[in-house]
Structures are given as structure tokens and as C-alpha cells.
């Protein structure tokens, strides 16, 4: 029956939809209670492939509810995986990851590596979409390991396709981060060329394998990514040829998201070739399809293509409308707090895996000890010594495991903080170089116009200053230009002016005492401490002091706010802000101490090791 549902494509026609509904009705009261939710999963997948995400989600949620009541764990896992795919296409990455991780837990326990690999591919895609490439590559490598273990060409192919896409993206990111380095620009171009060629080889090897094993969907994904790579390598004619090939294959496969991607690629290729009318045709078609089926990620990609096209055509009013939609999506995807939630979800999953491994090892040791007691009870004096060794070994194992877990968590926290800083830097740079420069140009033009009112001039000045302020807060450029001491003083001055907080400070010269990494973490920790004093402590005054000795710098931030009930050990664990501050200090080998008393304020102490 699942095959019949899959074969009835597309589901646009009433007859096909009615046929699927008839199948569902016929198995609803079947004596095999698991048959109905199984068919719901199949129908949900069919509707997903046809682009009807709302109907697919409705069917899969019903399947999940029924499977939950029956305790049918494998059906629950299947529904979760498919719901993860839908949530990702809707741009709800946190929900998508939740579904995927729930499915992964079940497939791990069942021991089905092939299904687990499919879920890992989904998790990799989520992390790729939110630009967490390291995490994406981590899960791709897990899939590749499973593929090698099972000798499965399809899994090997899918993982390889993702790895090739990552190679291309890493190359682009490296170029964007280093393009201003004029002294080493040639090296930057060589590095970019290396990543592009590496990715190209991987894509063509993947295409050959996809065609060999007859996997059209994977072939199509590879073709679309190869189009993007070829355009980045500035071979637009070849890119257009590949894009047309992918369009034909997309129509054959019938997957709506891949059809949209093909049209986006064709529009981009035509724009680069100067054929703007054709570019507009394909760009608008892709946007209309994405909106029709509620595919936010594809809508965003179509908008990006159209924005570049409208600018090229000189249609700035339409470009601005499109830009607003792009910004709205970027804000949704790039929200820092949201990415923290996603990181926490995945971290909990990894920790649960490790705890389960520890529990398994402990139970195995205890079971072995019990068996030895039963068999060799007559030699108790020997067994006593053996049991002692077993326990000693077990506690040693536990100690090493806990130590490794702690180091893993610290490494993960450090990587997360680094990613956030890089994202802050990117957004701050975009604000300064993009919006800030545009506003400055508008200001000059407006000031040159006699009819301009003083009210408009004031509004532009205030807007420009607000953009600059946001840019400074996102990434403290003063750190590199003037050093930590000046950057901290500037921040304190701005906080004092904007909040009305009275700040007294004793800041000696800190420049040259810390690494660049330590400086940014100290700056952010002080920034968060002041933010807490203003927002949560309701403080009216803050005192900042600093003491420098041979080994470390000791900084204290003391406010006169309302305080809170907490001992020093548990304070960081109960607040996301305090926990992040603690993790920042731990990542540079320092320490954060929080002391607070109700109605008497809070004192935060930073112990920071010197270079």
C-alpha cells in the first residue's frame, strides 16, 4: 500500500488525492493497529514530495500521536524524521532539530544504522542552513563512517555530496574573511581556488556514482550544487547548461523544493550572462512557487537572486522591498538566542549519548562481577581482591570519562562563543559598511537640499547614530584599533549616557597583558555584567575596579541593585547570561565568582590569567 501511495504522483489531481484518502480509510480500523499510522507516514511523505507541507504535517502529526499511544517506537521515529524535514523547509530550525534528535535517539536504541544515518543527514542540513559548518561536517562524517561500515553507496554518496558543498562554502567564507588582506591576497585566491577544485572533483565523482546506482534525487541535489560552484568559478555558460539539465531532471523527479532550486539557479546564471529578462522570468517563477508551498528557505534564496537582479536593472524600489524580506529571514535564522537554544538541544543529545555509554559500561562491569561471585564463590579471598580491582578500574574509568565530558563541554561552549563572536562581527561589519554608508550618503544629499526640514535632518542624524551604536555593540572595533583599555572606557561611557547609571572606575592600562582572544572575552563579560546591572538588578550605581599582580588580572564589578538569593557555585548555572560569562572565563583559563545578597547588590569578580 505504501508503494501505491508513492506511485500516485503528483497529488495535484483530485483523483489521486481521493485514492490516497481511500487507502487511509480502508486501513483505519484494521486489526493491525500499526498499519494505519504506517500509511499516514507514507501519505505524509507523498504530500511532502508534492510540496503540500501543511497536509503532510497534519498527517504526520496524526501518525505520531497514534504511534505514541501504541508505543510503536519505529513509527514514531519515522514520523519525527519526516516532520524534521518539513520544519526545516519552513525555516523552523529549532523545531526541526528537536524532531530529528528524537528520531536519532530511537534509531540508536534500535541499532538501525541506516535509518540513523538518514537522520544525521537531516541534522547536518539544519546546521548547514544556520551556517554552523563545523557541526554540519561532524554529522556528515558520522554518516560517512556508517556508510563505510555498511558498505552502502547511497549513504556514501549523500554524505559525499554534503562534504563537497561544505568544501565550497568553507572556501567562500575564507575568501570573504580575508579579501581585505591586500598583502596576502594572492594566497587568499589560491586557497579559494583549492577549495573550489576540491569541491568540483567531489561533485563529479558523486554524479558518476549517483547515475551508476540510479539515485535521481541525489543526482539532482549534486547538479544544483555544482551549478552554484560553477557560477562561483565564473563559468556562466557551463553553469546555465548544468542548470537546464537539473531543471529537466527536477520535473522528472517531481520534488517541488528541487524544482524551485533549479529555477533559482537558472535565473542566477542568466543574470550573470546579462540576459535580464530571462533572469526575471525564472526568478519570479521560483519565488511564486516557494510562496505557494510555504518553503521559506527557498523563498529566501529566490529573493536573494531577485535582489541582485533588481539592482542590476536599476529597479531600486523593488530591490528595497526584496531586501526587507531578506533581512526578515536573516534575523529569524541568525538570532543569537535562538542559535543558543539549538546548540543546547544538540548538546543535551550528545551528553545523553555519553551518559548512556557510561551507564552501559558500569552495568557491564557490575554484571561481570556478579557472575564471578556466583561461579567462584568458594574462592572469596581471591574474588575480594578482584572485586577491589574491578571497582578501582571502574572509578578510574568514571573519573576519566567525567574529565573528558567536562573538556568536551568546555570545547563546545568555546566553539559556540567563537561562532557568536564571528556572527556579531559579520553583522556589525554589514551594518557599518552597508546601511551606515547608505545613510551617510542620504544625509549628505539631504543636507544639500534647501527644502529639507530641520526635523528630517535630525531624524537622519539620529538614525545614523543608532546604526553606528548597534554596530559598535555587535563588535567592538575599538579593541583592534585602540586596545582593551580604551574600548572598555568607551563602553562604560556609552552605558552611562544611555542608561543614567552612575559608574565609578579604576582602570589601569591593560593593553598588552592579555591575548586577543582573552580581550574579547573580558570585554563581553564586563558588557554582560553592566547589562545585568541595568536590566535585572535595577542598580543606580556601579563600581569597577582592577588589580594586576604577577600571574593574573582581578577585575570586580559591584552594583547597588536588588541582588538575588544564590551561592557562588550555583549562580552561573541558574542564569543564561551568568553561565555564558562563566564559560567565557573558563575558555581562557580564568574564573568567574558571583556573590549576591538580597537588597545589598551583586559583586562579580573576574580572575583573568595574563599572557
SS3 389: helix
- Return contacts of 3-8, CB within 8 angstroms, 24+ apart: 5/39, 5/42, 5/43, 5/46, 6/42, 6/45, 6/46, 8/46
The predicted model gives 195-223 an average pLDDT of 80
Residue 381 has pLDDT above 60, yes or no: no
Cβ-proximal residues to 96 (8 Å cutoff; 6+ apart), any chain: 84, 85, 86, 87, 88, 122, 126
Q: Are β-strands 502-506 and 541-548 bridged in parallel, bridged antiparallel, or unpaired?
A: parallel
Tell me what pLDDT residue 402 has: 44
Which one is predicted more confidently, 553 or 157?
553
Q: What is the DSSP letter of 431?
A: I
Average pLDDT, the chain: 76
Residue 559 has pLDDT above 50, yes or no: yes
The predicted model gives 164-177 an average pLDDT of 70
pLDDT in tens, 13-23: 555 667 677 77
User: What is the CATH number that goes with domain 481-609?
Assistant: 3.30.565.10
Tell me what pLDDT residue 16 has: 64
Residue 292 has pLDDT above 70, yes or no: yes
Residue 6 has pLDDT above 60, yes or no: no
Residue 386 has pLDDT above 50, yes or no: no
In the chain, % of residues over pLDDT 70:
68
Tell me what pLDDT residue 391 has: 40
Question: Which has the minimum average pLDDT: 131-140, 151-160, 363-372?
Answer: 363-372
Q: DSSP states of 22-85 as a string?
A: HHHHHHTT-SSTTHHHHHHHHHHHHHHHTT-HHHHHHHHHHHHHHHHHHT-HHHHHHHHHHHHH
pLDDT in tens, 436-455: 555 565 666 566 665 556 66
Residue 499 has pLDDT above 70, yes or no: yes
* Per-residue three-class SS string for 274-314: CCHHHHHHHHHHHHHHHHHHCCHHHHHHHHHHHHHHHHHHC
Compute the distance between CA of residue 193 and CA of residue 174 in angstroms, rounded to an integer: 11
pLDDT in tens, 74-133: 999 999 999 999 998 888 888 898 999 999 999 988 999 999 999 999 999 888 888 787
Q: Are β-strands 502-506 and 552-559 bridged in parallel, bridged antiparallel, or unpaired?
A: unpaired
Cβ-proximal residues to 225 (8 Å cutoff; 6+ apart), any chain: 161, 164, 165, 168, 203
Q: DSSP states of 117-181 as a string?
A: HHHHHHHHHHHHHTT-HHHHHHHHHHHHHHHHHHT-HHHHHHHHHHHHHHHHHHHHHHHHHHTT-
pLDDT in tens, 344-374: 666 666 655 555 554 554 454 445 445 444 4
Which one is predicted more confidently, 482 or 475?
482
Whether 196 contacts 171, CB under 8 Å? yes
Which one is predicted more confidently, 364 or 281?
281
The predicted model gives 591-602 an average pLDDT of 88
Compute the distance between CA of residue 338 and CA of residue 330 in angstroms, rounded to an integer: 12
For the chain, the domains span: 1-91, 337-463, 481-609
Tell me what pLDDT residue 382 has: 35
Residue 154 has pLDDT above 90, yes or no: no
Residue 199 has pLDDT above 50, yes or no: yes
Amino acid at each position: 500500500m505504501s508503494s501505491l501511495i508513492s506511485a500516485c504522483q503528483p497529488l495535484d489531481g483530485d483523483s489521486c488525492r481521493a485514492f490516497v484518502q481511500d487507502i487511509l480509510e480502508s486501513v483505519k480500523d484494521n486489526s493491525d493497529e500499526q498499519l494505519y499510522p504506517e500509511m499516514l507516514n507514507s501519505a505524509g511523505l507523498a504530500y511532502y514530495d508534492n510540496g503540500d507541507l501543511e497536509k503532510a504535517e497534519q498527517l504526520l502529526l496524526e501518525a505520531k500521536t497514534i504511534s505514541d499511544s501504541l508505543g510503536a517506537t519505529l513509527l514514531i521515529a519515522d514520523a519525527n524524521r519526516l516532520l524534521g524535514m518539513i520544519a526545516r523547509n519552513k525555516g523552523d530550525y529549532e523545531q526541526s532539530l528537536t524532531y530529528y534528535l528524537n528520531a536519532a535517539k530511537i534509531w540508536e536504541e534500535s541499532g538501525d544504522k541506516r535509518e540513523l544515518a538518514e537522520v544525521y543527514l537531516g541534522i547536518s542540513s539544519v546546521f548547514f542552513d544556520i551556517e554552523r559548518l563545523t557541526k554540519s561536517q561532524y554529522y556528515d562524517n558520522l554518516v560517512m563512517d556508517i556508510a563505510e561500515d555498511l558498505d552502502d553507496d547511497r549513504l556514501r554518496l549523500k554524505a559525499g555530496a554534503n562534504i563537497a558543498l561544505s568544501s565550497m562554502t568553507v572556501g567562500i567564507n575564507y575568501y570573504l574573511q580575508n579579501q581585505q588582506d591586500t598583502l596576502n591576497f594572492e594566497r587568499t585566491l589560491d586557497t579559494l581556488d583549492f577549495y573550489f577544485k576540491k569541491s568540483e572533483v567531489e561533485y563529479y565523482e558523486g554524479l558518476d556514482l549517483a547515475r551508476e546506482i540510479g539515485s535521481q534525487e541525489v543526482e539532482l541535489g549534486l547538479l544544483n550544487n555544482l551549478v552554484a560552484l560553477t557560477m562561483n568559478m565564473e563559468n556562466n555558460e557551463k553553469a546555465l547548461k548544468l542548470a537546464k539539465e537539473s531543471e529537466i531532471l527536477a520535473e522528472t523527479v517531481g520534488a517541488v523544493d528541487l524544482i524551485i532550486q533549479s529555477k533559482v539557479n537558472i535565473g542566477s546564471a542568466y543574470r550573470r550572462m546579462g540576459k535580464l529578462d530571462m533572469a526575471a522570468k525564472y526568478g519570479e517563477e521560483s519565488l511564486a512557487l516557494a510562496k505557494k508551498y510555504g518553503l521559506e528557505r527557498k523563498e529566501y534564496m529566490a529573493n536573494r537572486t531577485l535582489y541582485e537582479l533588481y539592482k542590476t536593472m536599476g529597479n531600486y524600489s523593488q530591490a528595497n522591498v526584496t531586501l526587507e524580506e531578506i533581512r526578515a529571514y536573516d534575523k529569524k535564522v541568525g538570532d543569537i538566542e535562538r542559535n543558543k537554544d539549538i546548540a543546547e538541544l544538540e548538546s543535551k543529545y550528545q551528553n545523553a549519548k555519553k551518559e548512556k555509554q557510561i551507564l552501559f559500561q558500569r552495568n557491564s562491569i557490575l554484571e561481570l562481577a556478579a557472575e564471578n561471585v556466583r561461579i567462584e564463590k568458594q574462592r572469596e579471598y581471591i574474588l575480594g581482591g578482584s572485586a577491589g580491582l574491578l571497582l578501582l578500574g571502574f572509578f578510574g574509568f568514571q573519573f576519566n570519562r567525567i574529565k573528558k565530558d567536562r573538556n568536551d563541554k568546555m570545547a563546545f561552549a568555546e566553539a559556540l562563543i567563537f561562532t557568536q563572536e564571528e556572527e556579531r562581527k559579520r553583522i556589525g561589519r554589514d551594518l557599518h559598511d552597508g546601511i551606515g554608508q547608505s545613510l551617510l550618503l542620504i544625509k549628505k544629499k539631504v543636507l544639500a537640499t534647501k527644502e529639507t526640514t530641520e526635523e528630517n535632518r535630525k531624524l537622519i542624524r539620529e538614525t545614523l547614530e543608532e546604526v553606528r551604536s548597534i554596530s559598535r555593540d555587535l563588535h567592538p572595533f575599538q579593541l583592534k584599533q585602540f586596545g582593551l583599555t580604551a574600548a572598555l572606557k568607551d563602553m562604560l561611557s556609552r552605558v552611562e549616557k544611555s542608561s543614567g547609571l552612575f559608574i565609578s572606575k579604576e582602570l589601569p592600562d591593560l593593553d598588552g597583558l592579555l591575548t586577543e582572544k582573552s580581550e574579547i572575552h573580558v570585554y563581553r563579560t564586563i558588557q554582560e555584567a553592566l547589562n545585568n546591572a541595568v536590566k535585572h538588578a535595577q542598580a543606580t550605581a556601579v563600581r569597577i575596579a582592577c588589580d594586576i599582580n604577577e600571574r593574573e588580572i582581578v577585575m570586580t564589578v559591584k552594583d547597588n541593585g536588588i541582588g538575588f538569593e544564590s551561592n557562588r557555585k550555583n549562580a552561573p548555572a541558574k542564569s543564561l547570561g551568568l553561565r555564558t560569562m562563566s564559560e567565557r572565563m573558563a575558555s581562557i583559563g580564568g574564573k568567574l565568582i558571583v556573590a549576591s545578597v538580597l537588597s545589598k547588590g551583586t559583586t562579580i569578580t573576574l580572575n583573568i590569567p595574563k599572557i
